[in-house]
Amino acid sequence: MNPPADAWMPRRESVSEWLDVRGLRLHVRRWPQPGAPRLFLLHGWMDVSASFQFMVDALAGEWDIIAPDLRGFGESAWSADGYLFAHYLADLDALLEAYSPDELACLVGHSLGGNLVCLYAGVRPTRVRALASLDAFGLREARPDEAPGRLEKWLQQLRTPERFRSYPDFPALARQLRLENPRLSPQRAAFLARHLGEEDGLGAVIRAADPAHKHVSPALYRFSEVQAAWRRISAPVLVVLADDAALLERLGLTREEVMMRLASLRNARIETLPDCGHNLHLEQAEALARILEEFFLGLPRGTVHSPYDPAQR
């Protein structure tokens, strides 16, 4: 189905590439610029790589940008074994091996993607040149006594196929996206709906993602383990937070808890975007682009293209 004639159109066109990772085919969206500094963009939960389009268009300089659809999202294949955070970590490792085998990586991640790049930079500190985390600060600390109930719920969910809500058409999904992101224009919402949604073959539109993402994780979240990785990060870190606390309330976290967690990051610069919800790359794409470019272009001259020595693994 073709987009409406008055639809918003991107300034920079992306191309699609494909990467096979441990038997799974991942879709990689790329805004290519040979010879330019390379940025890897990792999206959040229930999102896709195309949602970075507005931010990419707002970048003033030239960048070679690589953004995968994480497994089970967008055009990437679904995983029959479910979705553990460690799978995403291994996928990122494979992505860097394929696209930046000889250079340190500059990483940007939103939400799930932000937690991913921070963990990766701690697990492989010699692999990362610099990273930016966008409104990502982990989950509520789980209690040990939650484990039996969580595992029981996970087992039950494996027996019951999940489903996503359906929409009568793409304009209806676009309206829903504007409800979730009030600062998103109708034109941008219409563009985004074409990437976040897909036809279900029955005349309706559903989210372009594996419904199994709605399953609870069988593993408890322990920030102490994450913190141990964060403390190993040696690269410069930019943290950009939204000033809207709605997500914190849903997660059961306070702003004070988040700031205490972020104190575990060495060499971290923390910015807060005003008048902005969790999806800051959608609602404040232009302001975010300026902050990211200032950070990455402010790195010591020549080090954005720093060579990577595989022997450091």
Select the more confidently predicted residue: 302 or 219.
Answer: 219
pLDDT tens sequence across 45-85? 999 999 999 999 999 999 999 999 999 999 999 998 889 99
Q: Which two tokens stand for residue 276?
A: 């902005």
**Other C-beta atoms lying within 10 Å of the C-beta of residue 168:** 10
What are the strands, taking DSSP E only, across 159-283? 197-199, 205-207, 237-242, 268-273
Q: How many residues does the chain have?
A: 313
- List of domains in the chain: 15-141+221-312 (3.40.50.1820)
Residue 84 in contact with residue 219, Cβ under 8 Å? yes
User: Max alpha carbon distance in the chain (Å)?
Assistant: 56
pLDDT score for 161: 81
pLDDT tens sequence across 206-256? 999 999 999 999 999 999 999 999 999 999 999 999 998 888 888 889 999
pLDDT score for 8: 76
Spatial neighbors of 241 by CB under 8 A, at least 6 apart, are 135, 137, 258, 270, 271, 272, 273
Q: How many angstroms separate the CA atoms of 8 and 280, rounded?
A: 19
